[in-house]
Amino acid sequence: MDAFALAGLSLAVIGLVVLVVFAIVTGVRIVRVNRGMRMLAAHPAMVALQGASSLSTRYPDLGERIALAKERARRIGGSVALLLAASVALRSDVDRIAATTLELLRTFMPNGRSAR
């Protein structure tokens, strides 16, 4: 066997070893990915997500009810804003009445004692 044949044979063997190692590494990665996918599919969040997607089949009017709830929440938010504005206005009126009452008391009873 001459040197060129021996070099060609050794390169073929090295190429075959590299190919086998590549196949093994790829196989290990595939096994890890499959195991991760199985663990992810069994995760409680994924189970809940799958259950949530089945809600639309169990409750076909769920989207409509959610839209109604959002509309109701918007109306309640508007009512709360109006209530807060009315509360501020009422508090301002109460403060004005208190200031006016104190001014009247200072006018009619300058020394702070009641007349007897």
Q: What is the pLDDT of residues 60-107, one digit of tens each?
A: 787 888 889 999 999 999 999 999 999 999 999 999 999 999 888 888
Tally of residues, the chain: 116
Reported pTM: 0.39
Structural domain of 114: 60-116
CB 40 within 8 A of CB 46: yes
Q: Tell me: the pLDDT tens digits for 13-57?
A: 999 999 999 999 999 999 999 998 888 888 888 887 777 766 667
Euclidean distance between CA atoms 73 and 69, whole angstroms: 6
1 shares a domain with 23: yes
5 and 43 fall within a common domain? yes
Q: Are residues 48 and 21 in the same domain?
A: yes
Residue that wins the pLDDT comparison between 88 and 110: 88
In sequence order, what are the residues at sequence separation of 6 or more whose Cβ sits closer than 8 angstroms to the Cβ of residue 54? none
- Residue 54 CA to residue 68 CA, distance in Å, equals 21
